[in-house]
Chain A
Amino acid sequence: MTAIHLEGLVKRFGDFTALRAMDLEIRDGEFMALLGPSGCGKSTTMNMIAGMEAPTQGRILFDDRDMASVPMGQRGVGFVFQNYAIFTHMTVRQNLAYGLKMRGMPRAEIDKRVGAVAELLQLTSLLDRPSAKLSVNILQRLAIGRSAIIEPAIFLLDEPLSNVDAAFRAVMRTELRHLQHAFRQTMVYVTHDQLEAMTMADRIAVMDHGVLQQVGTPLEVYNNPANVFVARFIGSPGMNLLKGRLADSDRGPVVDLGQLGATPPLPDALAAAARTAGAEEVFYCFRPEEISIAREGRGLAMPVTFVERIGARTIVHLGEGEETAKAVFDNDVGLSAGETAVISANEETVRLFDAASGQAIGSA
């Protein structure tokens, strides 16, 4: 059990900066997801924690120990590769025993530990099978077992679910989380899939273009995204963003969305925060799930361009060009493309972002 501190971590490859001044504290025993689109620097961060790459600047501390001079084989880090990197020329047992054998542990002790880990991961009956033709979920367990057997303080997982098909993901996700409960290590999990991060992690570090955008629990990140990127990235679909200007109306401060007209009055706290922030252009943001929709009445009138029905769920695509929004419902709302819908967002879930800086205004 070890806490990881990243201090001002920078990584450049030639002219390309993969990571800019990353500060992050991963707590002891925590399951932290590094989440972002490809090229956001999440894998680079993880590779540096593992010691596969050296930081250009900054420090990596495990508890209080600086890792700069510790080579990758001696950091006490378990690493599960995206493709699992199973030694396919060995049996399951040889794979599990590998780390211990390399340490020159006595045969009897190795057998004992391999037996114990295999038991825990339900691999006992497969121990003497060649590892080349195992199914993905067994490969995943084997990869975890192989790293776990050397009792690393830290477990790093690089998109271990990315080559598994959708139906199977849910099963593996659950399995993985239960394994974490079993091993109780500090886990860092890299993924580009926000749903995966939301369901598995204790906390999520959202990254983009080498910059850490926000750190928080899944619900903190979902409910109060720190900036426009996080708002769009978290959620399925992401948050709706409509650009406008702060304005006053007889009912209180609103956002003037131009052609779409004015929004309903902003909640007091948000209005106050907006006034303090002094932002002119803002994004008026709301979750697709937090919308009420009607054919007429008060609210924003937008044309329905497309209606997707996915089982019980309906996604209504609204608006064209710059001004688009999506609304998600748990039932069929009876609208179809070509009609006009009037939407209003659940006032408590409305957020404002400064259009110039992209940063959240106030915090609800």
Chain B
Amino acid sequence: MVVVDAAGGGGRQDEESRRLGFALTVPAQMLVLFIAAFPLLMQAYISLTDWSPLDGIGWWRAWELWNGFANYSDLATDNRFWGALGRTIIVMAICVPAEFLLGFGLAILFTGNFVGRRFFYSVLLMPMMVVPAVAGYMFFMLFQSGGPVNDILSAIIGSPVQIAWLSDPDLALFAVIASDIWQWTPLMFLILLAGLLGVPEDQLKAATLLGASWWQRFVTIVLPRMKTIIVIALAIRVIENFKVFDTFYIMTGGGPGVATETISIFIYKVTTQELVWGYVAAIGLTILIVLSVVAGVAIKYMSAQRREA
């Protein structure tokens, strides 16, 4: 058996064998394309109809209930949808920056050495490993009126506190945001720590020797070098946060009223309770397009970075 060091040469294959290789993978690529594209096409198709599983006809016959772009125009005027979207964006606008700043702060802390670093490192990563549904249940318990959060507040203030966190429309959103930050700051921390450790130490030393202060080093060396990874971390969290469902649903079921109803919960309810699948398909597709734009911008940015580097 002969194996060779990748560094040993160009590693490029013959043009001919590359073409053959491509030909051989065509069936597999078609399959992948089909798997990826089929549900999308199906969704697009249904979104243009009034089809519901209760109609008693198969989805492929949905054209009988064709309604053109009615679902999309309904969506445009659906206040519950816009409310859910607005809430989702508020949650995102608070959670993602909070997770980013907290995660970055912690990551910077963890680039240094301190007693118990390994221990705290493990502790810090734990929330991420908790099943979101379980996390939802934990926070549900924490924020009960007789729950630990109130107990702690009582102890601090000295008089009994009885805040109804989850049934007060204003506070419920705060509670779910807290749960999200708790669960996902560790992911930010982990990604950003990896990024920080990737900043060449020599460059930091060189900057110090050239007279740069901590903050100057951070702004001129660390941030520029972490651009790509910051964009990745933010994109992951924006997309994930947009889709958040299980934790919130278990904590509040989207309530009280619609106070914590995010897009995912909204879709879930419309799907399971109202069974208007054509409408749901339209919502789903709209959101997919929005998220694709976010991801697209991030990817474009990153490839531009790579070309520069």
Using a CB–CB cutoff of 8 Å, the interface residues on chain A facing chain B are 50, 52, 72-74, 77-79, 81, 83, 85-90, 98-99, 102-103, 130, 132, 146-147, 150
Contact = CB atoms under 8 A, between A and B. Distances in A.
A69 B144 CA distance: 55
Contacts of A103: 211
Contacts of B212: 73, 98, 102
Interface string B273-309: 0000000000000000000000000000000000011
A147 B206 CA distance: 9
A87 B308 contact: no
A78 B221 contact: no
B208 A72 contact: yes
B203 to A, nearest CB: 5
Interface of B: 200, 202-203, 205-213, 216, 220-221, 224-225, 308-309
Contact of A72 (B200, B209, B224): B209
B309 A73 contact: no
Given A87-B221, A102-B216, A130-B308, A73 B211 contact: yes
Closest 3 CB pairs of A and B: A99-B210, A85-B202, A85-B206
Contacts of A98: 207, 210, 212, 220
B208 A73 contact: yes
A102 B210 contact: yes
Contacts of A146: 206, 210
A50 B220 CA distance: 22
Contact of B211 (A81, A86, A89, A99): A99
A49 to B, nearest CB: 11
Contacts of A150: 210-211
A146 B202 CA distance: 14
Most chain A Cβ neighbours within 10 Å, of B206, B209, B309: B209
16 contacts: A52-B205, A73-B209, A73-B212, A81-B202, A85-B205, A85-B206, A86-B203, A87-B203, A87-B220, A98-B207, A98-B210, A98-B212, A99-B211, A102-B220, A130-B308, A147-B209
B207 to A, nearest CB: 7
Contacts of B211: 73-74, 99, 102-103, 150
Contacts of B309: 88-89, 132
A77 B210 contact: no
B117 to A, nearest CB: 17
Given A79-B206, A103-B211, 17 more contacts: A50-B209, A52-B205, A73-B208, A73-B212, A74-B211, A79-B205, A81-B202, A87-B220, A88-B309, A89-B225, A90-B224, A98-B207, A99-B211, A102-B211, A102-B216, A130-B308, A146-B210
A85 B206 CA distance: 7
Contacts of B207: 87, 98, 102
B281 to A, nearest CB: 45
Nearest to A51: B209
A74 B211 CA distance: 7
A77 B221 contact: no
A72 B63 CA distance: 75
Contacts of A99: 210-211
A336 to B, nearest CB: 35
B307 to A, nearest CB: 11
A83 B202 contact: yes
Contacts of B206: 79, 81, 85, 87, 146
A146 to B, nearest CB: 7
Nearest to A94: B220
A175 B224 CA distance: 32
A48 B210 CA distance: 16
A79 B203 CA distance: 11
Nearest to B210: A99
Contacts of A52: 205
Contacts of B221: 87
A314 to B, nearest CB: 33
B224 A89 contact: yes
A77 B206 CA distance: 11
Contacts of A50: 209
A147 B308 contact: no
A103 B211 CA distance: 7
A9 B216 CA distance: 32
Most chain A Cβ neighbours within 10 Å, of B203, B211, B220, B221: B211
Nearest to B209: A79
Contacts of B203: 85-87
Contacts of A147: 209-210
Contacts of B208: 72-73
Nearest to B221: A87
B230 to A, nearest CB: 14
Contacts of B209: 50, 72-73, 77-79, 147
A103 B210 CA distance: 9
Most chain A Cβ neighbours within 10 Å, of B202, B224, B309: B202
Nearest to A89: B224
Nearest to B214: A73
Contacts of A73: 208-213
A189 B207 CA distance: 20
Nearest to B208: A73
B200 A85 contact: yes
A103 B212 CA distance: 8
A86 B216 CA distance: 16
A79 B211 CA distance: 12
Nearest to A88: B309
Contacts of B308: 130, 132
A148 B224 CA distance: 24
Contacts of A79: 205-206, 209
Contacts of A74: 211
A106 B203 CA distance: 24
A74 B202 CA distance: 17
B308 to A, nearest CB: 7
A103 B209 CA distance: 12
